[in-house]
Structures are given as C-alpha cells and as structure tokens.
Amino acid sequence: MAYFGVDSTLPSSSPDSAPASGGVLRGPHPSAPIPVQGPSIGSNLRVALGESGSHIFPLILGAAEFGWNVDLESSHAILDTYAELGGNAVHTADSYSSGRSEHIIGQWLHSRGLRDDIVLAVRVGGHADNPGLGPVNLVRAVEASLNRLRTDRIDVLYLDATTDRASSLEDTLATAEWLVETGKVRSLGAIGYSAAQLVEARIFASAGYPRITVLDVPFNVLRRHEFDADLRLVAGAQGMAVTPSHALEHGFLAGRQRSKIRGALSVRGAQLAANLNRRGSRTLRALDAVGAELGVPDAAVAVAWLLSQKLVTAPIVNAYAPQHVEELVQGVGVRLSRGQLSDIARASV
C-alpha cells in the first residue's frame, strides 16, 4: 500500500531502474533499501486554499497545544517534522495559551527562516485583552498577534464569531478591509458564522468589502451535524475552502483513548453522551478495520475520511509529538474506497 499517493516501487527516473545496454531495465541493487512507504510527499503537493491566493499542503498543522500541553522544544520538533514532510500551513489563535502558542510559532519561524514558505493562519477574537470583533479590538488583536508571531502579515485571518455575537458584521468587514489594504492581512476566514451571515458577508463583498474565502467548521466523522445542509450549500456556492477543526475529536479518533469522548458527559447530558460514546466505539472499530486493511493508523484514516468529503480542502489537526505528525500525514495519500467509506459511515450513525 502506498501511503503517500505514490507507487511504492522505485520511480522510473531512479538510477537503479535506468536502462542497461541493450535497453534492458536493471532491477534495484540487492543492497538497496526496501521502499516500504515510497518517498515523502515533499513540497510538490499543494492545493488552492479557495480564493485566498494561497496554496497549501492538504493538512494544516494546528498549534492549540503549543505552550499548554506541549513545551517550546517539543513544539519546535513538531513544526520541524511537519515542514520536513512537506507541510506549509500552520494554524493558531490569539487565545491559545493566552498567546504563548503564537510566541512559540514566531520563534520557530524566525530561527528557521521559513516565514516566506509558511502559510500562517490565525484566529482572533478570543484573547482576554482584545475580545470580540469590534473595530478597535480587532485591530489591536491583529497587531498583538503580529508582534507575538514576529511577522508583518497574516496570510489567513479567521474571524471568530463564536466569541462575539454583538458586533456588526459590516463594522467587522470594514475593519478587515483596512487590515487588508495595509498589508497586515492577506485574506479572510471565518468560524462560527451562520449560513445567513455568510450570505450577508458576500453581499457586503459586492460593495467592495473583502470576501471571506475560508471557512472553519468543527467537523469530523462523529460531528457531521455541525456542517449542516445550509452551511454546505453556501460554502459551495461561494467557492469557500473548508478547513475543518476538531478533525480527531480531541484525539479520540486517533484511537489512543477508547473509554469516553472527552467532555461528552459534561456537555451533552448522560443519555446523549452515552449514545455518542456508543457511536464512538463503533466508529473506532471501523477505523481499526480500515487502518489494518490499508496498513495505516486510525488517525490517518480519520484524516482521509475528511479529505474525501466534498468541499473539504485541508483539516486542521493538532499534534502532541513528532510521531503524531508522521501518522497524520499518511492520511493525505490514503484513498478510501466506496466500501470503506460506507463502513465508516454506518458505524458512526
């Protein structure tokens, strides 16, 4: 099985497979390493991030744990592994660890000299110092993030409507327009906006305000309801790139914790939580079966399931260790069959 979407045999350009005299192909030298997984994806795999102007690896590295459950040194090791495997998109938020996540990423970008190679996505609106999306706090939040990240621009600015239901959408977009015109922000994303608000935002865009081109939805095989029909319809009609967060349901879909989905009992009530955990157990068994068939970990299957969904461009996935990144990246090259998709879907109902 080729994990990375390439054949596990040596490529035709390999010196070991070059034609010998008489035009006969030589086989690999007996001492050559066995190419079990094929070459790394590298930097040649890129997809358009909607109409944002950016092209990214179809797996965005989330930094929610940096500065919280993952220290600076380990965070940098995770980022190094991701970049070495061809990744070029990093997502953080001003509220992650009260800004420590941004500090860690900023130090890494500066020390590695990779700012121009990385598509930097930042969610704002949740920091205690500059809460919400009102004009003043939005500008202050972006300036603070730029300082922590040690950069002069944010490639994708996610406006977090879950933190602010009061600010006028027009005022927010007018402020974003100034941020784009000054070069501090290159494109806009959104999280927490309803389908109706996204339609309203497109109407404002027709009047000259910047367009929202990227949409973050908490979405995975167990949380399909959050990406409802109206939101799908609007995202598709507007050509938005969908970048689902909570891709592994707080790590549950990676298969490492199999007792209960974290937070289910406290958030959903006992009956709903019990049902969710039953579905979770069935889903994990389905992921186990597909993973065993393909020779990849559960996390890779969960990523592959998301990438098989219409409109999904790249999931946002947090990692706790470099080896987790290696597992996740395998999912980019996995192509699930209709039968496998059907098995996973039935298990998660």
pLDDT band at 141 (very low <50, low <70, confident <90, very high): very high
Rounded-to-integer distance, Cα 177 and Cα 169, Å: 12
Does 261 or 301 have the greater pLDDT score?
301
Residue 274: predicted pLDDT: 58
pLDDT at 159: 98
Coil vs helix vs strand at 296: coil
Q: pLDDT band at residue 26, thresholds of 50, 70 and 90?
A: very low
In the chain, what percentage of residues exceed pLDDT 70?
Answer: 82
CA distance 29 to 284: 41
pLDDT, residue 279, reads 86
39: three-class secondary structure by DSSP? coil
> What residue has token string 């409507």?
161
**pLDDT tier, 310 (very low <50, low <70, confident <90, very high otherwise):** very high
Tell me how far apart the alpha carbons of residues 242 and 16 are, in angstroms, rounded to a whole number.
42
Q: Return the structure tokens found at 263.
A: 């937070």
DSSP string of 213-278? EEEE-B--TT-GGGS-HHHHHHHHHTTPEE--B-TTTTTGGGTS--S--TTHHHHH-HHHHHHHHH
Q: Which of 187, 211, 186 is nearest to 200 (CA)?
A: 211
For the chain, the average pLDDT equals: 87
Residues designated as active site: 96
Per-residue pLDDT of 312-346, as tens digits, reads 999 999 999 999 999 999 999 999 999 999 999 99
pLDDT at 96 over 90: yes
Distances in Å between the Cα of 97 and the Cα atoms of 29, 77, 141, 144 are 51, 18, 15, 14
> What distance in Å separates the CA atoms of residue 145 and residue 152, rounded to the nearest whole number?
10
More confident residue, 14 or 30: 30
Residues 209-219 pLDDT 10s: 999 999 999 99
Decide: 70 and 325 in contact? Cβ < 8 Å: no
pLDDT digits (tens, 9 = 90+) for 50-62: 999 999 999 999 9
- pLDDT value of position 326: 95
What pLDDT shows up at residue 25?
35
pTM of the model: 0.85
Maximum Cα–Cα distance for the chain, whole Å?
77
State the Cα–Cα distance between residues 248 and 61, nearest whole angstrom.
13
pLDDT digits (tens, 9 = 90+) for 241-286: 999 999 999 899 998 776 655 544 344 455 545 556 788 899 999 9
Closest C-alpha to 341, from 317, 310, 314, 315: 310
By C-alpha distance, which of 216, 212, 192, 215 is closest to 201?
Answer: 212
- 219: phi > 0 → left, psi -120 to 50 → alpha, else beta; which? beta
Taking CA 223 as the corner, what is the angle to CA 221 and CA 224, rounded to the nearest 5 degrees?
75
The pLDDT-based confidence of 143 (bands split at 50, 70, 90) is very high
- Please tell me the distance from the alpha carbon of residue 99 to that of residue 301, in angstroms, as a whole number: 32
Q: Given a cut of 90, is residue 135 above it in pLDDT?
A: yes
Those residues with Cβ within 8 angstroms of residue 129's Cβ, 6 or more apart along the chain or in another chain: 140, 144
37 or 253: which carries more pLDDT confidence? Answer: 253
Torsion of CA 267, 273, 276, 277, to 10 degrees: 120
pLDDT at 165: 85
Predicted local distance difference test score (pLDDT) of residue 276: 63
Q: Distance from CA of residue 341 to its chain's centroid?
A: 20
* pLDDT at residue 33, as a whole number: 45
CATH architecture of the domain with residue range 41-259+297-335: Alpha-Beta Barrel (3.20)
Compute the distance between CA of residue 330 and CA of residue 349 in angstroms, rounded to an integer: 26
CA distance 161 to 269: 25
